[in-house]
Amino acid sequence: MDLEHQDVKYLPGVGPKRAKLLADELHVCTLHDLLYCFPYKHIDRTRLYYVHELTADMPYVQIRGQILSFDVEGEGRKRRLVAHFTDGQGIVDLVWFNGIKYVMSAYKTRTDYIVFGRPNAFNGRINIAHPDVEPADSLRLNAMGMQPYYNTTDKMKRAGLNSRSIEHFTATLFESLKSEIPETLPAYLVKSLQMVSLDEALRHIHYPTCAEDLRKASFRLKFEELFYIQLNILRYTRDRRNRYRGNVFTRVGALFHGFYEEKLPFELTGAQKRVIREIRRDMGSGRQMNRLLQGDVGSGKTLVALMSMLIALDNGFQACIMAPTEILAEQHYATFCQMLSGLPVRVELLTGTVKGKRRQGILEGLEQGDVQILVGTHAVLEDTVRFKSLGMVVIDEQHRFGVAQRARLWTKNVRPPHVLVMTATPIPRTLAMTLYGDLDVSVIDELPPGRKPIQTIHQFDNRRESLYRGLRAQLNQGRQAYVVYPLIKESEKMDIKNLEEGYEQLCHDLPEYKISRVHGKMKAAEKEAEMQDFISGKTQILVATTVIEVGVNVPNASVMVIENAERFGLAQLHQLRGRVGRGADQSYCILVTKFQLSADTRKRIQIMTETNDGFEIAEADLKLRGPGDLEGTQQSGVAFSLRLADLARDGQIVQLARNMAESVLDADPNCAAEKNEILWKQLAKLRKTIVDWSAIS
Ligand code: ADP
Ligand code: MG
């Protein structure tokens, strides 16, 4: 049977109407899709209980016996049907609060049934409300083993298509299969990892006979998913390495040394030194660098970027750094100009607001090679931006960019430039291996010395006075503060109103201080002026939406107040908090929330108050939200293509899959051996269904 092309509607019991629902609601169109429509849980129906064993704290149980009689009890809304059920040793009440007529006509007394439900205590007795009742002799499905539960939607339920129906379909399908489902992994792999065959795995993922079966099936299927992802990434990476030679930067010359010896205002941290060494090694190796630099907020990535760019310059090439917001690009520009002052380097800033003659001058300078460092936003991607010889590209806060945008930078030079992507959103290792599996990873795991951990405090929004007391104490010592409001796109107007109101209130309540404000809807020039007032210390408080989230650096700021903190995710809270604590003084982050909080929000706030460690927060975030919601995962589509594996929980299998993929490719780089034929077939098939998630940069 050709499972992949056989329409599910021809399966007995399905038909065109239900087939359409399955397709619309669950994307199940073919028999193959049905096989891969996995249950989300199983309920153990291997054990029958006696009525006298039941207690109210048990989860689902099943009992076998007969209904002795029915009674309708109670009045009005409390009217209920009670069936007195016995297993010959004890009696338990089965209770229905609705569908009374149906139940009375469907079930008979003196007939053997299997009853399945959750025991409750009521008036000192045990009953089971709304149980599943099935004739004991018609249970041809797995009702006595581990019963699968499938996801369904409201629309399906309204049409009477529930988990039980899908169970019938999958059971029918397995019964009708005449031969084994063909294997999709090379036999030697299955054997060496002592995995079950695909046929067995698929049968047992739906219908295990015990928990151990289910575990083996799930391991095999998870491994396979992750293995093909890794194989694809690694093949792509190896191929790219062979295809693209990198510019070889052998010289570490006058600019790098001049900067290091004369301009650098502080000692590099050990981690910064190590990462710069890694980058130098890459750029001198003859292959093109593709490196991800992870480092917590405030760990000093900008400096690493600058020094790496200087190496490109020392070798006669140009360099470019791209940032996600104008404010950030402007700030990098200012930092670079200041740090490089006195050295013969021409740095220019290119954003959407740089126009006319000035823009023309920059573009010409780039083509002639006079502009050596270009700092900019997406504007640098435009076709009119052409370099004489671009040797190195840095992408800051890379998770803010799409895959396609990053890829365009590659084409700015005949030979692709070396690429360094930087992120302050820490990514747990297993996720990084999958998302950025084709990149080499460097980590700055050390903050510059003398930083005091930021103190994070949770405060309910009805306690303004105590918030102001804290603020005044800091501001009166000459420090500065941020007050941030969430910005949610759907109701941008409302959010700006929140911000404006908050601003008015602050002006009213703290009249002795000067206050700036910025939000995304302001004109660039206006925004810049307000930012500048804050950076130069003319104003003491900056009221802002999340436009300041990434990268802004004002070391004198020591307080970060986050309003409506319940509306921010963990990663964002951590990013925002990272705006303070950049000097040597004690800094504070105040999370202001309403009083009523969901359990998840409370957990988030708790994590924030307990740790400053970005990696710990990222792990917690991954667990709370699942990988599909993390920034960077959505655009890549990886999380969506996984049916079973969970990047948060299956870290060990990710690692195993990667190791196996490596060793397969080491032994047979082109998968040309006969035993590897199956790999090609599977990769080709998968590529059709999965977005191109391997091309990250
Ligand atoms: P991020 O990694 O978040 O981009 P930045 O590069 O903005 O961090 O650096 C944060 C602050 O730390 C800046 O003010 C920078 O000048 C300072 N800094 C960077 N490296 C060091 C160092 N080795 N010693 C002291 N301060 C440093
Ligand atoms: Mg930064």
**Over residues 578-582, mean pLDDT:** 87
List phi, psi (to 5°) of 377. Answer: -105, -155
pLDDT digits (tens, 9 = 90+) for 510-520: 999 999 998 87
The residue whose CA is least distant from atom 13 of ligand 1 is 300
Binning pLDDT at 50, 70 and 90, where does residue 639 land?
Answer: very low
Q: Is 187 exposed, middle or buried (0-12, 13-18, 19+ CB in 10 A)?
A: exposed
Quick check: 150 and 131 in contact, CB under 8 A? no
Q: Confidence class of residue 693 from pLDDT cuts 50, 70 and 90?
A: very low
Q: Is the pLDDT of residue 629 over 70?
A: no
- Cβ 553 under 6 angstroms from ligand 1: yes
Nearest atom in ligand 1 to the alpha carbon of residue 450 is 25
Provide the pLDDT for residue 489.
54
Of 72-81, 187-196, 568-577, 679-688, which gets the smallest average pLDDT? 679-688
Question: Lowest-confidence range among 81-85, 96-100, 316-320?
Answer: 96-100
Atom number in ligand 1 closest to CA 444: 2
For the ranges 153-167, 198-212, 622-636, which has the lowest average pLDDT?
Answer: 622-636
Does residue 244 have its Cβ closer than 6 Å to ligand 1?
A: no
Give pLDDT tens digits for 283-324.
998 888 989 898 887 889 999 999 999 999 999 999 999 998
Q: Coil, helix or strand for 506?
A: helix
pLDDT, residue 556, reads 92
Residues in the chain: 697
CB 321 within 8 A of CB 392: no
CA of 300 to the centre of ligand 1 (A): 3
Among 96-100, 303-307, 327-331, the range of highest mean pLDDT: 303-307
- Whether 87 has a pLDDT exceeding 70, the answer reads yes
Could you give the count of Cα atoms lying within 13 Å of 5 in the half-sphere of its Cβ? 2
Q: Is 583 in the pocket of ligand 1 (CB under 6 A)?
A: no
Q: Is the pLDDT of residue 201 over 90?
A: yes
C-alpha distance from residue 32 to each of 2, 151, 170 (Å): 9, 17, 11
- Is the CB of residue 369 below 6 angstroms from any atom belonging to ligand 1? no
User: Which is nearest to 290 in space by CA: 156, 416, 144?
Assistant: 416
Cβ neighbourhood burial of 316 (10 Å; 0-12, 13-18, 19+): middle
Q: Is 301 in the pocket of ligand 1 (CB under 6 A)?
A: yes
For a mutational test of ligand 1's pocket, the pick from 582, 585, 612, i.e. the residue with the most ligand atoms closer than 8 A to its C-beta, is: 582
Question: What is the per-residue pLDDT for 494?
Answer: 67
Q: How sure is the predictor about 695, in pLDDT bands with cuts at 50, 70 and 90?
A: very low
424 ligand 1 Cβ < 6 A:
yes
| Per-residue pLDDT at 587 | 94
pLDDT of residue 624: 78
User: Are the C-beta atoms of residues 608 and 185 closer than 8 Å to each other?
Assistant: no
pLDDT at 230 over 70: yes
Average pLDDT over residues 110-130: 89
pLDDT at 406: 65
Average of per-residue pLDDT values in the chain: 86
What percent of the chain is predicted at pLDDT more than 70?
Answer: 90
Q: Check if 302 has its Cβ closer than 6 Å to any atom of ligand 1.
A: yes
Q: Distance (Å, rounded) from C-alpha 525 to C-alpha 608?
A: 35
313 Cα: distance to centroid of ligand 2 (angstroms): 21
For residue 198, what pLDDT is reported? 96
Who's near 296: CB < 8 A, 6+ residues apart? 424, 426, 444, 447, 578, 613, 614, 615
Copy the structure tokens of residue 479: 């420090």
More confident residue, 89 or 644: 89
Per-residue pLDDT reduced to its tens digit, 532-574 = 899 899 999 999 887 665 557 788 999 999 999 998 888 888 8
> Region 460-469: what's the mean pLDDT?
89
| 575 alpha carbon – ligand 1 mean position (Å) | 15
Per-residue tokens: 53: 């064993």
Ligand 1 lined by 448 (C-beta under 6 Å) = yes
pLDDT tens digits, 487-534: 655 566 666 677 888 899 999 999 999 999 988 778 878 888 888 899
Residue 85 CA to ligand 1 center (angstroms) comes to: 73
Q: Determine the atom of ligand 1 nearest the C-alpha atom of 396.
A: 4
Amino acid, res. 654:
V
Q: 299: Cβ below 6 Å to ligand 1?
A: yes
Q: Greater confidence, 681 or 426?
A: 681
Tokens of 76: 């009005």
78 C-alpha vs ligand 1 centroid, how far in Å?
67
Please give the pLDDT value at position 393. Answer: 94
What would the mean pLDDT of 390-397 be, rounded to a whole number?
91
Nearest-CA residue for atom 9 of ligand 1 = 300
603 contacts: CB under 8 Å, gap ≥ 6: 624
Lowest mean pLDDT among 220-229, 507-516, 593-602, 684-693: 684-693
Asked if pLDDT for residue 84 goes beyond 70, the answer is yes
Q: How far is the CA of 303 from the centre of ligand 1 (A)?
A: 7
Share of the chain above pLDDT 90, in %: 48
pLDDT at 549: 53
User: How many Å lie between the centroid of ligand 2 and the Cα of residue 497?
Assistant: 29
pLDDT at 495: 65
For the beta sheet containing 119-122, the strands, ordered from the edge strand earlier in sequence to the opposite edge, are 119-122, 125-129, 91-96, 80-86, 61-73, 113-117, 132-135
Span 210-218, mean pLDDT?
Answer: 90
Of the listed ranges 127-136, 202-211, 626-635, the one predicted with least confidence: 626-635
Closest CA to 165 of 366, 338, 324, 15: 15
Ligand number nearest to the C-alpha of 535: 1
Rounded average pLDDT over 239-257: 85
The predicted model scores a pTM of 0.67
Q: Please write the tens of the pLDDT for every residue from 335-376.
A: 999 999 999 999 999 998 899 999 999 999 999 999 999 999
The single-letter code of the amino acid at 45 is R
* Higher pLDDT among residues 257 and 425, named by residue: 257
Ligand 1 atom nearest residue 269's Cα: 23
Lowest-confidence segment of 127-141, 238-252, 313-327, 337-351 by average pLDDT? 127-141
Q: Are 316 and 255 in contact (CB under 8 A)?
A: no
272 CA from centroid of ligand 1 (Å): 10
End-to-end CA, the chain: 41
Is 298 close to ligand 1, i.e. is its CB under 6 Å away? yes
Phi/psi for 611 (5° steps) reads -140, 150
| Cα 538 to ligand 1 centre (Å) | 23
Q: Pairing relation of β-strands 91-96 and 347-350?
A: unpaired
- pLDDT band at residue 215, thresholds of 50, 70 and 90? very high
Kindly tell me the burial class for residue 151, based on how many C-beta atoms sit within 10 Å of its own C-beta (0-12, 13-18, 19 or more). Answer: middle
Ligand 1 atom 25: residue of nearest CA:
448
Name the amino acid, one letter, at 154.
Answer: D
Rounded to the nearest angstrom, the distance between the alpha carbon of 553 and the centre of ligand 2 is 8
